[in-house]
Every structure is written in C-alpha cells, then in structure tokens.
C-alpha cells in the first residue's frame, strides 16, 4: 500500500474556513454543519441554495435515490429542507487486503490500515447512516487506490444547487440520472476487464456521480438550450463503446496528472510553441567528440562536488554499520523533519517498515509571491507552490504513508552496497560518450536507485533503460518526482540475464532488474573508464548506482550558478535559457515526474551547445578541422588526458584553461 487515500477526508481541515484549497483532502464538515444549523433555524437558507421549483417532488425523489426514508437532521422542530443527506459514498472507502497476506502478518496490516483516532471519532458520527440497498461494492479504485490523490468531495446524485436553474428540479434530476446511468454502464464494463495499467481509468462510485454532476452543471450554463445539451450528451454516451470511453478517460487522467505535475515544477510550465531549434556546431560527430575533453570536470574537482573518488574500506564500512546499529534506525524525515524509526526487513512484532505514522508535508517548493498590482504596498508573501498556502500556515497539503530519509554519508552508502570503479572493457567502441540519468525512491536504506537510463552522445539513442528493485523495502517511490508509480514496478517484466535488455518502446514494456548491482553490471558492459559520462548533477546518479568514474561532464558544473555554490542551475532552466527548449513539460498521455530518457538527453544537448561555443572560440584563435578532429594554428591537438594523453601535454591547451574560459563565459 502506497497511499492514504481518503484517510484524511474525515479529519477537520486545520485551516478550517480559511482554507482555499479547491479539493482539500481534509474534511470541511464544519461548513456543512454550519449550514445544517442555519437551516434548522430558518428554512430560508434552503431556498437560497436550491430553487423552489419542484422542491417537494425533488425531495421525495432524492429520498428514493438515497434508499432511506429517515432524515439525518434533528427531528425536533426541523422544517423540511433540501439539505443533502449523507449518501452511500460518505462511508470511508474500504481498503481491501488479500486474506493471504493478513494471515501472514496480521498485526502489521492492522496497523497499516487502522485509521488515526480523529477519523475513528467522526466515523462514529456517521455510522448511524444505514448503507442503502443500491450501494456499490468496493470499487476497483478502493481496492488499489491511486497514489497521492485528493479524495473527491462526497456528493449525492442530486443536481447541484443553483441560484437560477434552467429547469425544474425533477427534470434536472431525471436527466442527471439518465446521464449517470450511461457513465455507470461504461465505467462498470471498463472495470470488468481493465488490466493493471487501465485500472487508473476506472472511476469510483463517487467519481461517476461527480462526473455526472459536473456535466449537468455545465449544461446549466447554457440555460436556453439546457435540455438539448444534456439530452445530446446522454445520447452520445448511450452510443459510446467501452473502447471510446477508455480513450476519453485516458485523456482525462492525463490532464489530471498534468495539473498535478505543473504544481511541482520550479518554473511555470509552458508548452513549446515551435519545434526546437536544432543545435548547430558546424562539426561532424567525430569532431564534436574530439572537443569533449575540453569540457571534462577536472578529476581533482570531482571530490569537491560530492563525487566519490575512492572506494570506502572494509573498516570504514564496519564503522558505518556499527553506527547504524547504535542509532536503532532513528532518522529525521526528509520532508516533514519528524524523528522516526525505520525497520529494515520489517519490525518483527508487527511487520512495520517505519514508525511515526503518516507524513504530512508540502510537495512543492516555497516561492515569493509577486505583490498584487492592486496593492503594491502589501507585504510580500512566501507561499508553497503545491497549494498556494503561506509558509507556516499548515504542516502540509499532502499525506504519505511513511516518513522518509536520505543518506549522503559515503561510508553509510557503502554499508548498503559498496562502490566499484568502472572496470576496463576491451571493446574500444565503448569509449564513446554516454549520457546517463537515474531516478531515486525512498526505501528503508534512504534514497535508492529505482531507474537507470543511458543514451548515446551526441545522437541520443537509447542504450539502457531499466527499472531497478532497490536493496531495501520501498517506503515511497517519490512518484511525483521520479515519474515511477507503484504499478510501474509491479507490472514491469523481470530481467535476470546479464545481457542488456532492449529499451522499452512504451512505459508499459520496461524491464526491471533485481538489484542495483545488476543495473550497474549492465551499465559497466556499455562503458570503459575512458567513456565520457554526461549528465546533470551526476554525483547523485553515480552515488545511487554506486560507481566511481573518472571521465565526467556534469552540466551542473559546466554551467555554474551566478551566485556560486551551493546554488545550482536546474536542468530545465538551463535547457530553456540556452536552447529555448522545454523539458519536463507535461504532455498529455505521458507519466508525470522526470523522464530519465529526456533528462539524460537534455544534458547531452547542453553539452553539444557548449561544444559549439568552445569551437567558436577555437576557430577565432585559428583552429581548423582536420579529418575527425580539430587542430590549432601551431598544430596543437586537444588532448584527452583520460585516454592516457597526459604524456604529450601541449602548451596553451589543457583542461585547466578550458575550465577558466568556460567559467568566464557562463
């Protein structure tokens, strides 16, 4: 189980009426309670929120739909109102657990699904509501909840209140029901034979109701042709096949994900308006590669920038292991800063992976909101990009099942899996440059590699792209950022052989290797110590893959931030600034989060662009192309020190000078 969908729906929102979150995951019951109180005092309120038209009729109908005659309102002195009653969907969704696993570790699962006390309290408050006869059984979504999704507002199948309605209530209700019936039919049929990947397209019972309510409400906007609009809609869905419905749902789901992904990117997402401009260097592939040594990160600098350059010794690893043992698994949460305990291999008595319950946090970054033009003197506010709440106003807008942590200390990383140096490889063709990118997820051992991608440079062809089963039990795949979702891991085909599997042609047919060691071995079969490895913030990828490599082009170092370290330019920003291209753009129909392939290639584009700039300078100094390389006015050549060229150092040309030039130029 990766999510806590619905768990907070019963907990009062900490922001109460100040909350501005459109679909806040916390309960805003106090709003409706207030409404009920008002309604009890005077029935005028009900007239304001619903039209008088056919109210009596509608009320009776609604009772029938609800399947219950008993009014949930206080009986004494309560006039008849149109306050909506609790319905089938108000019951918290039930998480189904396979009985086999319950038998295996009962207390662990009890613990996993047991709600926080607050929820239990309000659950009792609504438990008097009898489950209506027509209630839907647990939906496929309840069985396997989508990760990090805000629960839908609980609403009955009853036209939404409007100040002016285009038709009397019972007409609206009838049309709404007819539309609902069609949605329900399509949704039920889709649910029947949805595969793992399609399950996210299946709506919950509330989802079907909400969709019908939205459609009916939007038809109300065209009051004069309301009934035509909605009747056409009903006909459309009556004729619709499940395949067409599936297609429509896929588009909707992609759009929802796009909205979510836009909230996490550091810059507002813009869609590319024109095709990307090609990067022109005026050089052949061979000549471009011959210039690359000018861009290498000097080996002496690697350690300064978080790269590991020596393999931790057995003694160091022993020390780290003793330290881990002594700390008894206590860590500080990377997101909410709580202290909590992790239990690698699960806690014996109950099978728990971590203590401290759920993690409530903001998944976006804080930013300074621009002053309103209406009130330029107003204080500037720092807000969370994820939810637009002010910093400090709430502990978080998102809840995950576990707290998480990351390890940066090298010997602790080595205690999980030790580093290895890129081994020799006899195939000299493997000296060609490679772009790599890894994605990481949180496990009981910290942040671990869960996907590894390698492409060729400069062409960007796929060499390797596999999911990786981490060493520790997964706490959180960090899906918003990694782009990897629980179903990607569960539905990937295991790859056990030591030959590199073909790259996936779609996200559905990616392979998963059983360990980071396996992923590293596949990568090692594609490179030599002389292979220039290109990437952005590569120390993260190398450390997660646990390998030490001497020949590095790190675009985070190649294009340093104006403010100097520790500030770094983001890949997305660099690609936009220098190349006018948009990456990590949310496209309909693609997964959210980083796409390793795109990230790896984007770093490669930046390197080509930089090669073009270096070549411009060299040309001004009198360099010319000759064969597969470039030569200086006095016959100088660019020396690849990594390829053993240090013996023939040529005056005036070297990686040190190259660095200086680059720094002043960027």
Considering only the stretches 77-85, 391-399, 496-504, 647-655, report the one whose residues sit in contact with Zn ion under the rule CB under 5 A: 391-399
Rounded CA separation 270/62 (Å): 45
Q: Which is nearer to Zn ion, 216 or 541 (CB)?
A: 541
Considering only the stretches 75-83, 320-328, 401-409, 650-658, report the one whose residues sit in contact with Zn ion under the rule CB under 5 A: 401-409
Candidate residues 7, 36, 146, 386; the one interacting with Zn ion per rule CB under 5 A: 386
Candidate residues 343, 384, 442, 609; the one interacting with Zn ion per rule CB under 5 A: 384
Query: 3-class SS at 305?
Result: helix
Q: Does 385 participate in binding Zn ion (rule CB under 5 A)? A: no
Q: Which residues contact 651 (CB under 8 A, 6 or more apart)?
A: 636
Q: Does 28 participate in binding Zn ion (rule CB under 5 A)? A: no
Q: Which is nearer to Zn ion, 387 or 447 (CB)?
A: 387
CB of 258 to Zn ion, least distance (A): 18
CB of 349 to Zn ion, least distance (A): 23
- Distance from the Cα of residue 521 to its chain's centroid: 28
CB of 594 to Zn ion, least distance (A): 3
Which candidate, 127, 131, 153, places its Cα nearest to that of 9?
Answer: 153
Q: Residue 463: enclosing H or E segment and its boundaries?
A: strand 462-468
β-bridge partners, 420:
547
- Can you give the three-state secondary structure of 550-576, one letter per residue? CCEEEHHHHCCCCCCCCCCCCHHHHHH
Site for Zn ion in 179-238 (CB under 5 A): none
Q: Does 387 participate in binding Zn ion (rule CB under 5 A)? A: yes
Q: Which residues contact 108 (CB under 8 A, 6 or more apart)?
A: 346, 347, 350, 351, 352
Count CB neighbours of 275 within 10 A.
7
CB of 69 to Zn ion, least distance (A): 43
Q: Which is nearer to Zn ion, 171 or 387 (CB)?
A: 387
Task: Give long-range contacts, CB 8 A cutoff, 24+ apart: 73-79.
Answer: 73/36, 73/39, 73/40, 74/40, 77/40, 78/39, 78/40, 79/40, 79/43
CB burial string 380-391: b at 16+ within 10 A, e below: eeebbbbbebee
Q: Which residues contact 86 (CB under 8 A, 6 or more apart)?
A: 72, 126, 129, 154
Round the CA-based radius of gyration of the chain to a whole number and report it.
30
Q: Does 397 participate in binding Zn ion (rule CB under 5 A)? A: yes
Candidate residues 173, 179, 295, 333; the one interacting with Zn ion per rule CB under 5 A: 333
CB of 181 to Zn ion, least distance (A): 38
CB of 385 to Zn ion, least distance (A): 8
Candidate residues 359, 538, 544, 552; the one interacting with Zn ion per rule CB under 5 A: 359
Rounded CA separation 282/286 (Å): 12
Whole-angstrom CA distances from 338 to 235, 312, 331, 649 are 54, 30, 8, 54
Considering only the stretches 160-168, 299-307, 352-360, 440-448, report the one whose residues sit in contact with Zn ion under the rule CB under 5 A: 352-360
CB of 98 to Zn ion, least distance (A): 28
Query: 3-class SS at 579?
Result: helix
Q: How many residues does the chain have?
A: 666
CB of 587 to Zn ion, least distance (A): 16
Per 3-state DSSP, what percentage of the chain is helix, strand, and coil (rounded to 5)?
A: 45, 10, 45
Q: Which residues contact 439 (CB under 8 A, 6 or more apart)?
A: 449, 450, 451, 481, 482, 483, 484, 593, 594, 596
Q: Which is nearer to Zn ion, 387 or 538 (CB)?
A: 387
Q: x/- binding map, residues 282-321, to Zn ion, per CB under 5 A?
A: ----------------------------------------
Site for Zn ion in 101-130 (CB under 5 A): none
CB of 330 to Zn ion, least distance (A): 13
Q: x/- binding map, residues 466-505, to Zn ion, per CB under 5 A?
A: ----------------------------------------
Q: Which is nearer to Zn ion, 46 or 389 (CB)?
A: 389
CB of 483 to Zn ion, least distance (A): 8
Rounded CA separation 295/611 (Å): 8
Q: Which is nearer to Zn ion, 226 or 405 (CB)?
A: 405
| Helical segments of 240-381, H only | 242-264, 285-291, 299-302, 314-327
Considering only the stretches 9-17, 112-120, 341-349, 357-365, report the one whose residues sit in contact with Zn ion under the rule CB under 5 A: 357-365
Rounded CA separation 59/47 (Å): 13
CB of 414 to Zn ion, least distance (A): 24
Q: Does 574 participate in binding Zn ion (rule CB under 5 A)? A: no
Q: x/- binding map, residues 590-609, to Zn ion, per CB under 5 A?
A: ----x----x----------
Q: Does 336 participate in binding Zn ion (rule CB under 5 A)? A: yes
Candidate residues 362, 518, 520, 536; the one interacting with Zn ion per rule CB under 5 A: 362
Task: Give me the phi and psi of 384, to 5 degrees please.
Answer: -85, 130
Candidate residues 28, 119, 233, 335; the one interacting with Zn ion per rule CB under 5 A: 335
Considering only the stretches 166-174, 298-306, 544-552, 588-596, report the one whose residues sit in contact with Zn ion under the rule CB under 5 A: 588-596
Q: Residue 173: enclosing H or E segment and its boundaries?
A: helix 169-192
Q: Which is nearer to Zn ion, 288 or 401 (CB)?
A: 401
Q: Which is nearer to Zn ion, 83 or 387 (CB)?
A: 387
Q: Which is nearer to Zn ion, 362 or 572 (CB)?
A: 362
CB of 296 to Zn ion, least distance (A): 22
DSSP string, 598-620: HHHHHHHHHHHHHHHHHHHHHHH
CB of 536 to Zn ion, least distance (A): 8
Candidate residues 403, 411, 451, 469; the one interacting with Zn ion per rule CB under 5 A: 403
CB of 380 to Zn ion, least distance (A): 18
Instruction: Give the interface with Zn ion as residue ranges (CB under 5 A).
Output: 333, 335-336, 338, 359, 362, 384, 386-387, 397, 403, 594, 599
């Amino acid at each position: 189980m990766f999510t806590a969908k619905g768990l907070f729906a019963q907990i009062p929102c900490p922001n109460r009426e100040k909350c501005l979150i459109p679909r806040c995951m916390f309960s805003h019951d106090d709003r409706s309670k207030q409404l009920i109180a008002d309604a009890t005092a005077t029935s005028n309120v009900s007239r304001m929120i619903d039209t008088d038209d056919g109210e009596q009729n509608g009320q009776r109908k609604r009772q029938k739909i609800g399947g219950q005659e008993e009014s949930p309102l206080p009986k004494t002195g309560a006039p008849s109102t149109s306050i909506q009653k609790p319905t089938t969907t108000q019951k918290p969704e039930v998480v189904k657990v396979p009985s086999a696993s319950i038998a295996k570790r009962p207390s662990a699962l009890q613990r996993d699904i047991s709600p926080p006390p607050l929820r239990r309290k309000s659950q009792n408050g609504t438990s008097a509501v009898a489950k209506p006869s027509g209630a839907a059984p647990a939906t496929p979504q309840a069985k396997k909840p989508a990760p990090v999704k805000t629960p839908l507002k609980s609403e009955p199948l009853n036209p939404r209140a409007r100040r002016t309605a285009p038709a009397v209530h019972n007409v609206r209700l009838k049309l709404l029901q007819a539309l609902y019936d069609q949605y329900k039919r399509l949704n039920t049929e889709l649910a029947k034979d949805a595969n793992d990947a399609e399950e996210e397209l299946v709506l919950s019972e509330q989802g079907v109701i909400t969709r019908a309510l939205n459609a009916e409400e939007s038809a109300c906007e065209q009051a004069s042709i309301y009934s035509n609009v909605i009747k056409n809609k009903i006909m459309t869905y009556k004729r619709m096949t499940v395949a067409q419905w599936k297609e429509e749902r896929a588009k909707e789901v992609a759009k929802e994900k796009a909205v979510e992904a836009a909230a996490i990117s550091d810059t507002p997402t813009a869609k590319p308006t024109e095709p990307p401009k090609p990067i022109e260097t005026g050089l052949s592939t061979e000549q471009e590669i011959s210039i690359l040594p000018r861009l290498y990160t000097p080996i002496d600098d690697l350690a300064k920038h978080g790269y590991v350059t020596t393999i931790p010794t057995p003694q160091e690893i022993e020390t780290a292991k003793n330290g881990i043992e002594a700390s008894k698994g206590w860590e500080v949460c990377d997101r909410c800063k709580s202290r909590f305990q992790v239990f690698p291999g699960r806690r014996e008595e109950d099978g728990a992976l971590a203590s401290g319950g759920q993690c409530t946090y903001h998944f976006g970054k804080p930013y300074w909101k621009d002053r309103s033009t209406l009130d330029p003197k107003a204080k500037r506010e720092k807000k969370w990009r994820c939810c637009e709440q002010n910093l400090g106003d709430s502990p978080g807008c998102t809840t995950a099942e576990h707290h998480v942590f990351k390890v940066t200390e090298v010997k602790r990383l080595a205690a999980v899996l030790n580093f290895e140096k890129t081994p020799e490889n006899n195939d000299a063709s493997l000296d060609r440059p490679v772009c790599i990118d890894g994605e990481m997820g949180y496990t009981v051992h910290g942040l671990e590699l869960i996907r590894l991608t390698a492409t060729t440079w400069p062409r960007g062809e796929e060499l390797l792209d596999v999911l990786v089963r981490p060493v520790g039990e997964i706490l959180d795949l960090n899906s918003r950022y990694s782009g990897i979702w629980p179903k990607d891991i569960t539905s990937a085909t295991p790859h056990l052989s030591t030959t590199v599997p073909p790259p996936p042609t779609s996200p559905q047919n990616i392979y998963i290797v059983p360990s980071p060691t396996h992923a590293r071995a596949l990568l090692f079969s594609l490179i030599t110590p002389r292979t220039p490895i290109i990437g952005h913030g590569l120390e993260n990828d190398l450390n997660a893959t646990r390998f030490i490599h001497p020949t590095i082009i790190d675009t985070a170092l190649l294009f340093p931030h104006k403010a100097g370290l520790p500030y770094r330019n983001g890949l997305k920003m660099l690609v936009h600034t220098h190349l006018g291209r948009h990456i990590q753009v949310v496209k309909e129909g693609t997964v959210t989060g980083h796409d390793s392939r795109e990230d790896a290639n984007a770093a490669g584009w930046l390197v080509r662009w930089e090669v073009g700039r270096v070549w411009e300078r060299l040309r001004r100094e009198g360099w010319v192309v000759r064969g597969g390389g470039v030569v200086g006015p006095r016959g100088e050549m660019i020396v690849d020190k990594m390829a053993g060229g240090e013996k023939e150092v040529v005056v005036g040309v070297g990686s040190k000078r190259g660095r200086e030039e680059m720094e002043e130029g960027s």
